[in-house]
Each structure stands twice: as structure tokens, then as C-alpha cells.
Amino acid sequence: MSHTCDAFVLACMDFRFHQKISEPLKKMQINSYDLKCDAGGAKFLASSEKPAVRDWIFENIKISMRLHGVKKVVLVNHYDCGAYGGNKTWTNDEAQLNFHREQLTQAKARVAEKFPGLEVVTVFAKPEGEKLDLLPL
Ligand SMILES: [Zn+2]
């Protein structure tokens, strides 16, 4: 069994998404991944709040690179995320999507600054019936 994997995935701890995330990741050619779950997904990479959380996420990325040869990081924020106050935080889905686009852009910049050699991919997870869509943002 190979001891390398395709990506490091940072996603929210929300139980509704863990099992459903693997199928859409496969469609992105990510068949194996280290999974780090924190409330809000990339929230504390984007924010200046709780720098210790950000540092711990960076530490996990470092470990994933060292142990599993990871060259790609996937940052996943999701629809109706309680860490951001849930759907009621935004007046509509478009506003929510735009907000997360900004969050993920900021988070991506932080990861890229810390790890210039890594490819960083950002997606927004949205339920579609029983399945989950990962929209590139
Ligand atoms: Zn969440």
C-alpha cells in the first residue's frame, strides 16, 4: 500500500459532509487524502482570530507533506455552515457564495504564502439531494 496520498483536505467538522465528500473529490482526481476537520473549514485560515488554530492547521499541512508527500491542499467551505451563523447570515444563496469566495481566496493566499510549493484548490460544498456538489470557487 502506497504511503503517499493525493491531497490534504481541510473541511468543516459538520457531520453532514464527511461521508459525502469523497465522491465529488474523486471527480477531481483526488482518490486519497488526509482529512483535517475544524469548525468553519477554512474560516480560521481566512480570519485573524485564533492564530493558534491557523498555526495548528499549518502544522498539520506540514506533517501531511512530510509523511504522505502531499503537494495539493483542498480548502472546503460549505453551505449553511454553523460556524458562520448558518444560512440566516446571508440574505440569499448568491450572497453566501460570494462571501465564501472571499473567505476561500483569503485562506488560499495564506496557505500559498506559507507553502509556496503547494497547489491550493478552493471549493464550496453544497448539498444536491442526497449528494454533495463541490463547486470550484
Ligand atoms: Zn460548518
User: Cell numbers 446571508 correspond to what residue?
Assistant: 90
Question: Residue 1: what pLDDT?
Answer: 62
**Ligand 1 center from residue 40 Cα (angstroms):** 5
In the structure grid, which three cell numbers stand for residue 123, read together?
471549493
Question: Residue 33: what pLDDT?
Answer: 97
- Domain 7-136 class, CATH top level: alpha beta
Mean pLDDT of 109-134: 95
- pLDDT higher than 80, residue 133: yes
**Ligand 1 center from residue 2 Cα (angstroms):** 31
**Ligand 1 center from residue 16 Cα (angstroms):** 9
Mean pLDDT of 12-27: 92
**Ligand 1 center from residue 83 Cα (angstroms):** 5
Question: Residue 52: what pLDDT?
Answer: 96
Question: Residue 130: what pLDDT?
Answer: 87
**Ligand 1 center from residue 17 Cα (angstroms):** 9
Contact 71, 4 (CB under 8 A): no
User: Cell numbers 469548525 correspond to what residue?
Assistant: 39
User: What is the rounded average pLDDT for all residues in the chain?
Assistant: 95
d(CA 53, CA 14): 17
Boundaries of every domain in the chain? 7-136
Q: 58-94: per-residue pLDDT in tens?
A: 999 999 999 999 999 999 999 999 999 999 999 999 9
**Ligand 1 center from residue 119 Cα (angstroms):** 23
In the structure grid, which three cell numbers stand for residue 33, read together?
487524502
In the structure grid, which three cell numbers stand for residue 93, read together?
444563496
In the structure grid, which three cell numbers stand for residue 130, read together?
442526497
Q: 117-129: per-residue pLDDT in tens?
A: 999 999 999 998 8
Confidence of residue 44 (pLDDT cuts 50, 70, 90): very high
